[in-house]
Amino acid sequence: MIIMPIYVVGAGPWDPELITLKAIKILRNADIVYYGSLVNEEIIKMYAPRAQKIYMGHVRGEDHNKFVKQALELAREGLNVVFLKNGDPAIFGRGIEICKEAISNGIPCEVVPGVSSFTAAVAKYLIDLKGVVVLMAYPNIDYNISADTKVIFMGTKIINELITKLRNDEEAVIVSRLTYPDEEVVTLSKDHDPNIDVKPPALVIIRRRGGYEGGE
């Protein structure tokens, strides 16, 4: 039996037009597609209609490892296994971890980059990324880092804290459910009531005050 390489593929944000040609090519050959709660299922239906879909949900830790272990077995049996990740799998997405695990078990693996939700958000709302840009993901938040732009991933739970810790000259652009039909964007400064209702997934982009200019 030929061992098949595993692919960890970035699907981009929700919008299926932001997927790459390489991702589509790999999905078309997939026998099994593992996907998490943030992936747009339309993408799997369109490009891997005959593949077995395995939903991983909001899986973490040991449960995640079980899926990976199962995937390694399937690749060893000669099946084309794809992990489909929202956005770019290299940005806080565990994609690289999966490939390292596969390779250390003798199974080839490749991470296929995708369009990150954070650049899709700043593109859509024309938010200049100037000077030094910091990316952080909950729970690894460092409030002391000084930068022109700070992007916080997976921060829905700590919106309240993020807003109250804004400096006087900063504002936070919160982009919720980017490219979904119910996308919402709001700009808040320190003075605002932080008890707002933000649906996940959301990005928080903190930058010097100045407002955003819509591109649409």
Binding residues for a second copy, rule: CB under 8 A, are 10, 12, 15-22, 24-25, 88-92, 95-97, 99-100, 103, 109-116, 119-120, 122-124, 126-136, 140, 142, 145-147, 213, 215-216
Give strand pairing partners of 37: none
- Residue 147 or 196: the one with the smaller Cβ distance to a second copy is 147
39: helix, strand or coil: coil
Q: CB of residue 132 vs a second copy: minimum separation in angstroms? A: 5
- Residue 146 or 168: the one with the smaller Cβ distance to a second copy is 146
Q: CB of residue 199 vs a second copy: minimum separation in angstroms? A: 21
User: How is 115-145 classified by DSSP, letter by letter?
Assistant: --HHHHHHHHTT----S-EEEEETTB--TT-
Q: 132: Cβ–Cβ under 8 A, 6 or more apart, which residues?
A: 147, 148, 149
Q: CB of residue 177 vs a second copy: minimum separation in angstroms? A: 16
- Residue 59 or 135: the one with the smaller Cβ distance to a second copy is 135
Positive or negative, the CA dihedral 175, 119, 117, 162 is negative
Q: CB of residue 87 vs a second copy: minimum separation in angstroms? A: 9
